[in-house]
Amino acid sequence: MKLLLLIDLLDIKFQASRKITLFLCIMLSALLAIAQTPKTTYSGKITGYSGNMGFTTGKLIRNNVITGVNEMYVINIQPDGNFSLTFPLVRNEECWISFPFFNSWVYFEAGKNIVQDFNIADIPKVVSAFKGDAERVNNDMNKVRPVLMDYNWDKIYADIYQLTPEQYKSYFLKIQSSKLALIDSIAKQPGFDKIAWNLAVRNVKYGTASDLIHYNYTREAAYRMQNKLSFNNREPVLRPVTLKADYYDFLKTLKYNDPCAMVCYCYFEFMNRLMFMDLIYDSAGLLDYTKEIESLKSKDTSDANIKATIKIYQDMMSHKATKPGALEKARTGVLKGLIHADISLELDLMYLQPLANELNYKTDTLKDDSLAKIKSVLKHKFLMGDVVALNDKIKQNISNVKKQTSYADSQIPVNTTADSILSAILDRYKGKVVFIDFWATWCAPCIQSIQEIAPLKEELAQDKDIVFLYITDTSSPEKTYQAMMPHIKGEHYRLSQDQHNFLTGRFQINGIPHYVIVNKQGRVVDPDFKWHSNAEIKLKLQDLEK
């Protein structure tokens, strides 16, 4: 499928003082006429690669701004350093590429073959070059990549943790100004690609706006970093600062209702933070269960039902629960009042993302009448292309479930008490090393980590002394759980709330995913295993086999 994306960039300086009008690809309405999502290929050669380097895969992440779904694809590296991945892509956009030696976004054209070759003979000075489709755009992006990726967060955290909102805003706008000036100076080179310049500028602006929206979160993280405080406790250490409407004046400097923004990688994060900015929650009104929690704590807190109820209230407050419909109503009014521009595209995306996320995590499909209703609400009808593609993907996954045989839905006796649940499970795997993954069907980081570990499980498939065990609770809906489980190789347990609560307390689980390692003797050797690569997991598990 060929997509032409029309980007109107009027009155923007590209070189010296000349104003230019830049036309990028698209007639996005063509999406509705496309019957099948085109397959896009990412391939290349890693010169200097060796299989004993400790990694055999990379990953490509596509953040779909229409559905809000993170799509992760594993890039398998051959022993000779060649790699190739084919994946579905509806439109031209930037995707994140992650290897141990390279982490950045790359521009992809739908249905085309993007080739990126690496030379890693000198790891501190890794060189990459593109050829074939989108060669010029990506090679020029390489020239500005050092500017785009230059964020010294240790220094930034040290600088900003005591700043007021206005000081914080000035700090990041100064960084933005410096980056834009550097990009413009590089782009003055003869023949520098206009699309590359446009993407670089947009990424800087959307990235800065995301940081500014996240004032309280970033300030909290900076304070913890500076004071060496744990991030496991999700309760804020600092009292959040109420941000007034005039703080958000930077939002007026961005361009809205522009389909071409969806090409830019940083637009996804910007949209997410825009949807859930503090001012919107302040306007919607948060539900406060403090009195209910205090009342329950004054009773018998050893009662499992009371403990579970307290946890539910605490979780709702930590996730900023609001009355049904209040957030959506507040969002429209707040954003229109702040931006004073046509934001119909942004509002359409904010309408679609929760629907698509629910569709994806419940792994249920929409009937034609439901799709027609969604389409009737949208002002930008081309957005339906991604919703239909997601719906079709889920249909295909459901049809494939019956073919899956590499998983086991393990059951335990219904009368197993909460305090005996751990031994009831682990006794089944004595003589084996067990990797326990606490997860949930609705947890996006859990799903992404499961996908990342999948190649390791394939690699260890013949090793019968290693078990991958997945534990969730009733917060994972039964229907969703049954649909997702066959795609996750390993042993699976869906526990009652009481049983899960016991394990949560046993391992001090403050958030998921959470990992536990058990040795062959059935003894927990790491109750909170942290990992950054499959190589770390493999080394840990194989050491315990000896």
Strands, E, within 19-112: which ranges? Answer: 19-22, 25-26, 39-47, 57-63, 70-76, 82-88, 93-99, 102-108
Convert 318-356 into a string of H (helix), E (strand) and C (coil): HCCCECCCHHHHHHHHHHHHHHCCCCHHHHHHHHHHHHH
Radius of gyration for the alpha carbons in the chain, expressed in angstroms and rounded: 25
* Confidence (pLDDT) at 17: 35
Cβ partners under 8 Å of residue 69, min gap 6 = 356, 357, 360, 390
Could you count the other beta carbons within 10 Å of the beta carbon of residue 470?
22
Place of tokens 């590089």: 186
**What tokens does 356 get?**
């698509």
Amino acid making up residue 275: M
Residues 346 and 274 sit within 8 Å (Cβ to Cβ): yes
Question: Can you say whether the dihedral through the CA atoms of 288, 290, 292, 296 is positive or negative?
Answer: positive
Residues 82 and 45 sit within 8 Å (Cβ to Cβ): yes
Rounded Cα distance between 358 and 353, Å, is 9
Going from the C-alpha of 219 to that of each of 79, 477, 492, the distances in angstroms are 44, 35, 39
Residues 469 and 425 sit within 8 Å (Cβ to Cβ): yes
Rounded Cα distance between 175 and 178, Å, is 5
Residues 378 and 29 sit within 8 Å (Cβ to Cβ): no
Rounded Cα distance between 324 and 474, Å, is 22
Residues 218 and 210 sit within 8 Å (Cβ to Cβ): no
Rounded Cα distance between 289 and 294, Å, is 9
Cα torsion 385, 388, 392, 393 to 10°: value is 60
Rounded Cα distance between 421 and 410, Å, is 13
Place of tokens 């933005």: 176
Going from the C-alpha of 437 to that of each of 52, 319, 519, the distances in angstroms are 27, 22, 15
The DSSP code for 322 is B
* Confidence (pLDDT) at 12: 34
What are the φ/ψ torsions at residue 430 (nearest 5 degrees)? -60, 140
Closest by CA to 175, choosing from 131, 207, 223, is 207
Rounded Cα distance between 244 and 366, Å, is 40
**What tokens does 211 get?**
């940081």
Residues 501 and 307 sit within 8 Å (Cβ to Cβ): yes
Going from the C-alpha of 153 to that of each of 89, 149, 222, 225, the distances in angstroms are 32, 11, 9, 10
The DSSP code for 299 is S
What are the φ/ψ torsions at residue 165 (nearest 5 degrees)? -55, -45
Question: Can you say whether the dihedral through the CA atoms of 392, 393, 396, 398 is positive or negative?
Answer: negative
**What tokens does 43 get?**
């391939």
Residues 158 and 226 sit within 8 Å (Cβ to Cβ): yes
* Confidence (pLDDT) at 198: 96
What are the φ/ψ torsions at residue 416 (nearest 5 degrees)? -65, 125
Rounded Cα distance between 117 and 74, Å, is 17
Rounded Cα distance between 332 and 275, Å, is 10
Q: What is the pLDDT along the chain (546 residues), one digit of tens a residue?
A: 333 233 333 333 333 333 333 333 333 333 333 345 679 999 999 999 998 887 888 888 898 999 887 787 878 899 999 999 999 898 899 999 989 899 999 999 999 999 999 999 987 889 999 999 999 999 999 999 999 999 898 899 999 989 999 999 999 999 999 999 999 999 999 999 999 999 999 999 999 999 999 999 999 999 988 888 877 666 778 988 999 999 999 999 999 999 999 999 999 999 999 999 999 998 988 888 888 888 888 887 677 777 778 877 877 777 777 888 888 899 999 999 999 999 999 999 999 998 887 776 666 678 888 889 999 999 999 998 888 888 887 777 666 555 555 455 666 665 566 567 888 889 889 899 999 999 988 887 888 889 889 888 988 888 889 999 999 988 888 888 888 888 888 999 998 877 887 787 788 787 789 999 999 988 888 888 888 888 889 999 999 988
**What tokens does 383 get?**
């957005």
**What tokens does 2 get?**
């060929």
pTM greater than 0.75 (yes/no) = no
Closest by CA to 80, choosing from 104, 48, 103, 110, is 48
**What tokens does 62 get?**
């596509």
